[in-house]
Chains A and B, each alone.
Chain A
C-alpha cells in the first residue's frame, strides 16, 4: 500500500529565503506526482505535476524534482514571500488509487 510522508511538518522562514520541502513515497511504481497548495479552510490548488518519466518541473519561483527510484520528490521555493504561507501537499498517483496524499508541510513566511 502506497504511503506518502512529508518532512518537515511545519516550517517558518524569513521573507526572501529559498526553501525546500520534502516528500517521500514507499512504492516507486507511480504514474505521476503532484504538488498542491492548501490555504486554511480552502480547497487544493495544483502547483506542479511531474510525470513518472520526468525529473523536474518548473513554474515561476517553484521547482519540483522527482527521483522515482528512491521514492523522493522535493519542492523548491525561491525568494519566499509572505503570500507563500500555506500548507503544501504532495500526492502520488499509483496503482488503483488515483491520488495518495501526504499530510503536508505548513509553511509560514515571516515579513
Chain B
C-alpha cells in the first residue's frame, strides 16, 4: 500500500542553524501539508501546498519557514534559523483530491533544537 515517507526520522541541530525536512508524498496525490506536534500538545497545521504554491498557512508559518517541491516526488520544509521552540515532531501529509478526501500522514521527523 502506498505511504508517505519522511526523512530523517530524527534531526538534532543547534539553535540558529537551518534545517530541511524531507517528505515523499503518495504518488498521484495533489495536495501536500506540513503539521507539527510539540511534545504533549495538539497536532497543529502549518501549511498546505497545491499546484506548486502555498494555498493556506497558519500563523505559526512565519518568514522562518518555507516549503518547496523541488522535483516531482519530494516535498520539503525548511526552517531558516531554528529556535528552541521549534523542537517538535513534524508530520507531512498528502491527499489525492479536494477537501472531501482522506489525508495520509507520514511517520514524522523529530526535530530537537539545542
Contact = CB atoms under 8 A, between A and B. Distances in A.
A93 B104 CA distance: 14
Interface stretch (B42-50, B65-73, B75-83): B42-50
Interface stretch (A15-23, A29-37, A70-78): A29-37
B108 interface: yes
A98 to B, nearest CB: 5
A97 interface: yes
B48 A98 contact: yes
A108 B103 CA distance: 26
Given A89-B43, A99-B35, A101-B44, A46 B102 contact: yes
Contact of A98 (B91, B103, B108): B103
A32 B108 contact: no
Contacts of A43: 91, 105-108
Interface residues of A, number: 24
A44 B99 contact: no
Nearest to B102: A49
Nearest to B98: A31
Interface in A29-63: 31-32, 34, 36, 41-46, 49, 51
A-B pairs, 7 with minimum CB distance = A43-B107, A44-B105, A31-B99, A101-B43, A49-B102, A43-B108, A101-B42
Interface of A: 31-32, 34, 36, 41-46, 49, 51, 89, 91, 93, 96-104
Interface of B: 33, 35, 41-45, 48, 56, 58, 91, 99-108, 110
